[in-house]
Amino acid sequence: MKLHRRRFLHLAAGAGALPALSLSARAQTYPTRPVHVIVGYAAGGPNDTTARILGQWLSERLGQQFIIENRTGAGGNIGTEVVVRAPADGYTMLLVSSSNAVNATLYEKLSYNFIRDIAPVASLVSVPNVMVVNPSVPAKTVPEFIAYAKANPGKLNMATSGNGSTTHISGELFKEMTGVDLVMVPIGAAGRR
């Protein structure tokens, strides 16, 4: 029997769609019980807020409760470890931030391998970093700030949300690229007022 190209492509497309259809059918029954979303950061922060908004939205649409649990500490490592040790059944999820990826380079002995032990599900938010200065600083543009910082090495503080955070990494990159000497001050969630 000679199989024509068009017929072959139809069969191949159909075969390729079968796994997606079976996954779709299985996904329609999920969740059948409450889902725990672990946030490795303090309540009230941006990660927690994102998780709570998402959890409410998912609860309303999927008809099951999405419970937000804050398991803080070690730059998100404690919460990540909770999820890694939970059954891989989709009922314990982790809200991931860039700090989770950075932690693999900051901590020598983690009890998990982030790339191997965590499976991505969805991208939720994209957060830009912006530079703001106190109005008392006589710089109105980035080049003016760089010149001012070079004229005052080690006298300007830069607040970060903690070691390994995007603000910390961005600040270190800014210092390296511009040659300025800023003092990093990790305020974290506990330092916010």
144-156 residue pLDDT tens:
999 999 999 999 9
The residue-averaged pLDDT of 139-144 equals: 96
Percent pLDDT > 70 in the chain is 82
What is the structure's pLDDT at 52? 97
Closest CA to 40 of 85, 88, 78: 78
**Average pLDDT of span 59-74:** 95
Residue found under tokens 């938010």: 125
pLDDT of 75 reads 84
Q: At what angle are helices 77-85 and 98-106 packed, to 10 degrees?
A: 100
95 sits in which H/E element: strand 92-95
pLDDT in the model for residue 157: 94
User: Hey, what CATH class is 31-117 in?
Assistant: alpha beta
Q: What is the pLDDT of residue 160?
A: 87
Residue type, 168: H
pLDDT, position 45 = 87
What pLDDT score was predicted for residue 23?
Answer: 53
Q: Does the pLDDT of residue 192 top 50, yes or no?
A: no
Compute CA 131 distance to the chain's CA centroid, rounded to the nearest angstrom.
20
**Tokens standing for 62?**
């999927």
Q: Residue 131: which region, alpha, beta or left (left: phi > 0; alpha: psi -120 to 50)? A: beta
Contact 39, 51 (CB under 8 A): yes
d(CA 90, CA 35): 8
What are the domain boundaries of the chain? 31-117, 142-188
Pick the CATH number of 142-188 from 3.40.190.10, 3.30.70.580, 3.40.50.1860, 3.40.50.300: 3.40.190.10
Q: With beta carbons less than 8 A apart as the criterion, state whether 172 and 102 touch.
A: no
pLDDT at res. 5: 52
Summarize the confidence of residues 54-72 as an average pLDDT. 96
- Whether the per-residue pLDDT at 59 is higher than 80: the answer is yes
The overall pTM is greater than 0.75: no
pLDDT top residue among 156 and 104: 156
Give the DSSP letter of residue 2. Answer: P
Same fold, 31-117 and 142-188: yes
